Amino acid sequence: MNYLNEDIDSLNQKLAQGTLEADQLAQDTVANIKQTDDQLNAWITVQEDAKPDQDLDFAHHKLAGIPIAIKDNIITKDVKTTAASHILDNYLPVYDATVIEKLKEAHVTFVGKTNLDEFAMGSSTEHSYFGITHNPWNLDKVPGGSSGGSAVAVASGQVVAALGSDTGGSIRQPAAFNGIFGIKPTYGRVSRWGLIAFASSLDEIGVMSKRAKTSAQVLNVIAGQDEHDSTLSTRAVPDFTRFIGQAVKGMRVAVVKEYLDAVDGDMHDVIEQQIAVLKEAGAIIDEVSLPLTKYVVPDYYIIASSEASSNLQRFDGIRYGYRSKDAKDLLDVYVKSRSEGFGEEVQRRIMLGSFALSAGSYDRFFRQAAKVRTLICQDFDRIFADHDVIVGPTTTTPAFDIGSEIADPIKMYNNDILTISANLAGIPAASVPAGLVDGMPVGLQIMAKRFDEGSIFKVADFIERSNKFYEQTPTGMED
């Protein structure tokens, strides 16, 4: 089964009518993954015995029997969860993440766990203990990261939707690189219970799919209500699908000068074209400025790495995960297990975080970063006081060549300059396909005020219907 021309509605209809059996769907999905994944390496674990629940109620559960991919940093009971790290390569969780519990209540079929940058730290899915994931539009290009496996699983038609996580752009950047839709909801909209923590004040679970409506349907299921997450909002969750198909006429759209200036040539033209389409449809376009944009990368790396160094303390080789064979005393267990278990990028970020939080550096680095974060939030509040959405490019370039940036961390970090701000401010943001540049997809990023995912779905769906990018299929895979 290949899902390039399917969505949840079409599958639900076939399942309900009995022209498609859920069992067969699960088996065909696994068979297709096994057949195509030699080229892509989008999966860490494929559940070969994937089985749908019995007596599915297709009328009440749109997602019943539909196979969905899960990024492998989301805890799944009795199914290996590795965060793409050697330190967790045999970890078998004893409970489910809240999002998994909610998807189980909706009777989704689980088919496996997708590849990522180790502990979600990276922009290319090259930093995985389980090998590099390849972009289905061109196998020599990166799929983006850190949710590269989930993005590729959707873009290549292995599944109709996938969960990802986004700490600084990890859903939107791979969505842009693979020509799909990906949304990071408002911080606090979806429970983080059971998401292996990277940076707790920035992490957010979101959805990737070919069509915005599909993501709205999945988000409906995973958002809201959880007594396990004290940062979760108690606000009511709207039905996100009701924003699909609405007109954009009269919407107030801000275009950030600094974001547009960050892209040039053909990419600039593609983004301008999408903005022109919105204007033609009656949206009111204003140019605005976010002068702190040049500081978001350093701000993010201080905050994210500080939180990561704290969160990753729990990986000490004692209760679970990899333990070094050579350790002679207890301190040795910690140091050797961590040094042998964590990859280079993760160690780099732990060190940066420990440095920023250390006695002599705290004020100059961590405290200053937390203050700059306040100014970034205020800038967004100012724009959203009289605009519904901000639109612009998701990334500064299309997908780059595998191996071309991995030796230069600063170059790699700068890939996220356009996506990071949304995490620092906790606002929802998404990427919708805008077009192709040199045969590779580029994305249009849409941001909205906190808890206004609805405006994002409205604009994304409109863009989708205008450019019909979803009719295009990846061209890089060999037969």
Partner 1 sequence: MKITEETIKHVAVLSRLEINEKDLGQVTEQMSSIINMADQLSEVDTAVVEETVQVVDRDTVFRADQPEHWQDRTELMKNVPDQANGFIKVPVIINKDEDE
Window 367 to 386, contacts with partner 1 (CB under 8 A): 367-375, 377
Site for partner 1 in 269-298 (CB under 8 A): 292, 294-295, 297-298
* Beta strands 252-256; 389-393: pairing state: parallel
Bridge partners for 170 per DSSP: none
User: In whole angstroms, how close is the CB of 352 to partner 1 at the nearest point?
Assistant: 6
If one asks whether residue 302 binds partner 1 (CB under 8 A), the answer comes out as yes
Candidate ranges 9-17, 168-176, 251-259, 330-338; the one touching partner 1 (CB under 8 A): 330-338
User: In whole angstroms, how close is the CB of 301 to partner 1 at the nearest point?
Assistant: 6
Distance between CA atoms of 134 and 179, rounded to whole angstroms? Answer: 14
User: In whole angstroms, how close is the CB of 228 to partner 1 at the nearest point?
Assistant: 8
Given the residues 85, 124, 128, 146, the one annotated as active site:
146
Distance between CA atoms of 124 and 135, rounded to whole angstroms? Answer: 10
If one asks whether residue 31 binds partner 1 (CB under 8 A), the answer comes out as no
Of the pair 137, 315, the CB lying nearest partner 1 is at 315
Distance between CA atoms of 26 and 114, rounded to whole angstroms? Answer: 16
Which residues fall within 8 angstroms of residue 280, CB to CB, at 6 or more apart?
A: none
Of the pair 264, 381, the CB lying nearest partner 1 is at 381
The Cα-based distances of 243 to 139, 453, 459 in angstroms read 35, 9, 9
Among 61, 86, 89, 91, binds partner 1 (CB under 8 A): 91
Q: Is 191 designated active site? A: no
Read off the amino acid at residue 293: T
Candidate ranges 25-33, 56-64, 257-265, 362-370; the one touching partner 1 (CB under 8 A): 362-370
Of the pair 307, 461, the CB lying nearest partner 1 is at 307
Distance between CA atoms of 274 and 281, rounded to whole angstroms? Answer: 11
Q: Is 51 designated active site? A: no
How many Cα atoms are found within 13 Å in the side-chain-facing hemisphere of 231?
13
Strands (E), 244-314: 252-256, 284-288
Closest C-alpha among 207, 197, 203 to residue 159? 207
Among 9, 229, 266, 272, binds partner 1 (CB under 8 A): 229
Given the residues 85, 123, 124, 170, the one annotated as active site:
170
If one asks whether residue 92 binds partner 1 (CB under 8 A), the answer comes out as yes
Residue 88 is classified by DSSP as: G
Reduced to 3 states, what is the DSSP secondary structure of residue 135? strand
Given the residues 71, 113, 336, 449, the one annotated as active site:
71
Residues carrying an active site annotation: 71, 146, 170
